[in-house]
Amino acid sequence: MKNLLVVVLILGFGAVTELQAEPVRLTMADAVKMAVEKNLDLRVELYNPAQQEAEYQKSRGIYNPTLTLQASYNDTTSYSASRPSGRYWNNNSQLNAGISQLLPSGATAALGFNNSYLSSDVTSTSSGLSSYWQSSLGVTLNQPLLRNFGREPTELTIDTARLTKEASLEKLSSKLISVVAQVRTEYYKLYSLREELSVRKVSLELARRVLSETQARVKAGVMPAMETLNAEFGMASREKELIDAERAVQDQVDVLVQLLQLQPAQGQDVETVEVPSKGRYEVSEQAEIKRALSNRPELKELKRNLELLELQTRVSGNRTRPDLLLSASAATAGLGDTYPRDLDRLSSGTYPAWGVGLSFSYPLGNQAAENDYRKNRLKLDQSALQIRNQEELIANEVRSAVRAIEANYKQLDVADRGRAFAEERLRAFVRKAEVGLATTKDVLDVENDLATAKNNQIKAQVAYANAITQLWKATGEILAKEQVRMVTLDPDSLYKGMN
């Protein structure tokens, strides 16, 4: 029993060296970088703002000019009682071109250039010619004066797509924060499980020594045979705990591999390099809440949605007005027996034409527009309440995270003292066992208490690190703390890469 104390107090929990491939050693910065670049959840979320960019560019197409070209030919033969042949014929060829454009005011402007050539065996009474060219160049403007007047109603789809994209970027940022926080948590969890595995190995080694020495004492006749059973049971229990600990480590390695999209070689292990900090993290609850309300992407996303609803409410209010449309047109015409003469008269402006008019329409009752407006008002009020609710939830989340940091920092000292007491207690029982005042079961029970105290110390250290992670997540500053920038994820590049 004299060698028990040496085994228990091995510094750092020695581990059995195994021949295997060189492990992948990860720092926290490496793990975060890999997750940002390769995590599948993030890559899936990246497609949403890229799709919204496509929707935004599509909506800007309302300002694309529309070009129209038209060509036609008509050949008509008609009956005529006044002609000796009893018939007459007309040939009409047309070639027209036009371009139209939507304006930010809601107006539609159009420019048209029309050409026709008429050939007949009858002289026209209006032109005095049997064959002639006729052209016109005109511009028209249709401007809403009440309903749909102005930039906001005109560009509603553009602004909707823009704000929706901004909201999707905030959602991507929220997802990125969650992934980085998950990386930190899973990274330290693997550290914790490996440390617990080391504790189990040391505990099993001690149980083997106890069994060996107990068997020797029983054989020498200084201990009853029952003590051998106690030692064997203690070793079997620790073997089970070791197997469970090894499985937990491998399960956690798989979690980290999937999260970071690692591709380790067959049989290659993954190890963490960094140890959770035990230094005191100073926090100010009110300052952290203020920072959270300024940084949290979930709140920014709701505010983008509120901005969109405000826009939609204003536009739906505009659409409750009557439809008053101003129409204006101006044109000049030409006519000639040849096309050049026709164009000369067209360009001279000798034959102008213009017109202006108003059209008014209003659905009696106007229930569709009125209720659309009311619905948007209700959505707007609902969104404002959602923002207030989210602000309160964020404040509570920050307060909880601050309390967790303070509580877990105190737990560090408790866990350290608990381990020190457990080590001293084991020393005392080892000395008792050496003089026959403690049984094998007593020693194994006390050693089990020490293993529990060591595990509590590890868990307290990791819980403190996780509490800091949760505070950074709650305040939205975890990306800055881990030096992650959104430029790493560029949905616009993804959009541009799609041909």
pLDDT confidence band for 113 (50 / 70 / 90): very high
Summarised one tens digit per residue, pLDDT across range 299-351 is: 999 999 999 999 999 999 999 999 999 999 999 999 888 899 989 999 988 88
Residue from 34, 35, 99 nearest 64 by CA: 99
Summarised one tens digit per residue, pLDDT across range 207-252 is: 888 888 878 877 877 778 888 888 889 889 999 999 999 999 999 9
- The whole-number pLDDT of residue 21 equals 65
Q: Which residues pair with 331 in a beta bridge?
A: 138, 353
Cβ proximity of 323 and 360 under 8 Å: yes
Overall average pLDDT of the 42-54 stretch? 93
| Contact residues for 185 (Cβ-Cβ < 8 A; gap 6+) | 466, 469
Distance of CA 205 to the CA centre of its chain: 49
- The whole-number pLDDT of residue 2 equals 40
Summarised one tens digit per residue, pLDDT across range 70-112 is: 999 998 766 555 555 556 678 889 999 999 999 999 999 999 9
pTM to 2 decimal places: 0.83
Summarised one tens digit per residue, pLDDT across range 426-451 is: 889 888 877 778 887 888 888 889 99
Summarised one tens digit per residue, pLDDT across range 6-42 is: 333 333 333 333 445 688 899 999 999 999 999 999 9
- The whole-number pLDDT of residue 6 equals 36
- The whole-number pLDDT of residue 381 equals 97
